[in-house]
Amino acid sequence: MSQPTTDRFNEEKATFAIRGADTPDLEAGVAAIRNVLKTLPQRSGVYRMHDSRGDILYIGKARSLKQRVANYTQINGLPKRLQRMVSQTRSMTIVTTNNEAEALLLEAQLIKRYRPAYNVLLRDDKSFPFILLRADTDFPRVQKHRGARRAVGNYYGPFASAGSVNNTLNALQKLFLLRSCTDGFFKTRDRPCLLYQIKRCSAPCVGRIDKAGYAELVSDAKDFLAGKSTQVQAKLGAQMQAAAEAMDFELAALLRDRLRALTFVQGTQAINAEGVGDADVFALACQDGVIGIQAFFIRGGQNWGHRSFFPTHTNEVPEEEVFVSFLTQFYEEVPPARTILLDRELAEGELLGQALGEAAGYKVALSVPQRGDRRRLMDQAKRNAVEALERRLAESTTQAKLLREVADLFELPEPPARIEIYDNSHIQGTHALGAMVVAGPEGFRKGEYRKFNIRNKDTVPGDDFGMMREVFTRRFGRAQAEDPDRDGGTWPDLVLIDGGRGQLNAARAVLEDLGIEDVCLVGVAKGPHHGRDGREVFHLLDGRELTLPVNAPVLFYLQRLRDEVHRFAIGAHREKRAKAIGASPLDEVPGIGPARKKALLMHFGTARAVRNASLEDLKRAPGVSQGVAQQVYDFFHAR
């Protein structure tokens, strides 16, 4: 069964609401829930709790919606966290499902989409990388892949990081000499590239290996990725021996190098997972109210990396509930292994395995290893979970100290929970944009970074002050409209601006016009020696200028914030500039899609020639009807 989506349940969806006070009120919250209970069925489904503005507070699933939701009316039996949630609840949305497993999958999907304030959340900014062995050409390409799996071929993963993928790709190139170049590059070669010279490609592009020989290399690579490295090793050894006996010493040396590379790869496995097969391994550690989860990815007995996760919103939430919520959200985008090893029994383990199996299309088993290789692997995962959590807590302590020093430096009432940093990027006014990055006690929040295309016609190209005014007008004007009460966590406690007094005054003028007077603004400018001595100057609103000792940790922290927004702004500007280079005047013609644009360019050669063409010439272009020709002609001439 395919994974459920909310679209499938729209006909069964209903919203029940009660109008109450906008402030938290237990009686109003309970009344809203009881109003919903009157019409709830005794069947499985997902419920969403909303506050007075309609924002989602919590998403939950239930085997019986009526029984589950009724629990929220028994206030004395709820923990403080849920009592706060009920006091804010003013309406609910109900979606029924066919069974509880389907409800579990839908719950995870909705949590990932809406990220409610009272749900355990998996913070993960990047998708997991895979290795893709293409199968749509005679000479398949091996490459790194992220995102939707639309290309035809074999996917291997997930890998814990890009580094893990790169190491495996390097091994595949050394061992099996598979091509990694694009199809366009492959088709235009008339001599081998450097990878052939350094023995990392068999050069099928110029016929140095035939189709059958390359297919054998591909088969060996599939065996290696499937965990059959011992068979591959034996095969390479036999081929090397045969080549040596035939006195083909050049081939024997090549096979020897490949055999050495395979032996090296086998020896650099950080985790001994031989005999485990395909498995995902998870261990949970908890200390001082913080939860960390360690994941190992084992495929074919090979370690494909490990990663630590630290779910948020876990205060007052039982460890088992955190674990189940983490696993359902984790597998929302990642295909599960057929075996999932856990460090503890879960009451909903059977249900979770059923739900994951229905979504994946094959049986998924959850188990707690008791002995042998799997038990040793689990012990190692548990040890890594504890060590990663201890490092996280140590970093948090250091981060908390830095934020206290920031608060003292800029005279904030308390350490900032949200810091926003701004910068502009352009080249002589072209492709101008503003950038905002966000940081907090947990580090950079990359999912909240924002780009602002400078589109105000009154902004003079290259005017940094005007650009800053436009950015702040849009950012804080929207904040006032969407979160006027400032209880959504979107308002900054501190704003850093990469620039001097001029940029600071431009930002202050915007906030004053909006009636915002309590946001701390600080300009970060390079010192008299342009930062070569590390002595940035911090401009405050009251006219003071602060400098810090060159070895002060808080200075390094503030420089890191400034460097991050600078990096993000430059990257966004390069991306915008690259898109502009590939743009064409034909993109602006209404009704002209990629196929017709290509036909016009193939016929006329350039976009300028299309612009200058007569109506009769346009009508003669292949694939262009008279109506389209008239449309193109009118666009360029009827102005």
* Residue of 67, 68, 65, 66 lying closest to 99 (CA atoms): 65
What's the CATH number where 488 sits?
3.30.420.340
Q: Tokens representing 510? A: 């915007």
| pLDDT tens sequence across 273-316 | 566 778 899 999 998 888 999 999 888 777 777 888 999 888 88
Q: What percent of the chain has pLDDT over 70?
A: 86
pLDDT of residue 5 exceeding 90, the answer is no
> Do 164 and 227 belong together in one domain?
yes
Residue ranges making up the domain that contains 82: 6-114
pLDDT of residue 11 exceeding 50, the answer is no
pLDDT of residue 24 exceeding 50, the answer is yes
| pLDDT tens sequence across 228-277 | 666 776 777 787 888 787 887 777 777 777 776 666 555 444 455 566 77
pLDDT of residue 531 exceeding 70, the answer is no
Residue 500 lies in a domain: yes
> Do 43 and 99 belong together in one domain?
yes
Separation of first and last alpha carbons in the chain? 56
Q: Which amino acid is at 60?
A: G
> Do 260 and 209 belong together in one domain?
yes
> Do 574 and 597 belong together in one domain?
no
> Do 154 and 243 belong together in one domain?
yes
Write down the pTM of the prediction.
0.66
> Do 589 and 573 belong together in one domain?
no
Q: What is the DSSP letter of 606?
A: S
Q: What is the dihedral of CA 574, 576, 579, 584, to 10 degrees?
A: -130
| Residue 581 to residue 575: CA distance in whole angstroms | 10
Q: Tokens representing 501? A: 């007094």
> Do 81 and 56 belong together in one domain?
yes
- More confidently predicted of 620 and 71: 71
How many distinct structural domains can be found in the chain? 5
**Beta-carbon count within 10 A of 461 CB:** 12
For strands 520-525 and 494-498, give the pairing.
parallel
Which of 212, 240, 267 is at the close of a domain?
Answer: 267
pLDDT of residue 19 exceeding 50, the answer is no
> Do 431 and 506 belong together in one domain?
yes
Predicted pLDDT of residue 1: 47
Q: What is the largest CA-CA distance in the chain?
A: 90
Predicted pLDDT of residue 437: 93
Predicted pLDDT of residue 18: 41
- More confidently predicted of 160 and 474: 474
pLDDT of residue 159 exceeding 70, the answer is yes
> Once rounded to an integer, what is the mean pLDDT over residues 439-467?
82
Mean model confidence pLDDT for the chain: 82
> Do 551 and 568 belong together in one domain?
yes
| pLDDT tens sequence across 305-364 | 788 899 988 888 899 999 999 999 999 878 898 899 999 999 988 999 999 998 888 899
Which of 563, 580, 597 is at the close of a domain?
Answer: 580
> Once rounded to an integer, what is the mean pLDDT over residues 212-241?
78
| pLDDT tens sequence across 84-141 | 999 999 999 999 999 999 999 999 999 988 889 899 988 765 677 888 888 888 898 8
pLDDT of residue 78 exceeding 60, the answer is yes
> Do 424 and 538 belong together in one domain?
yes
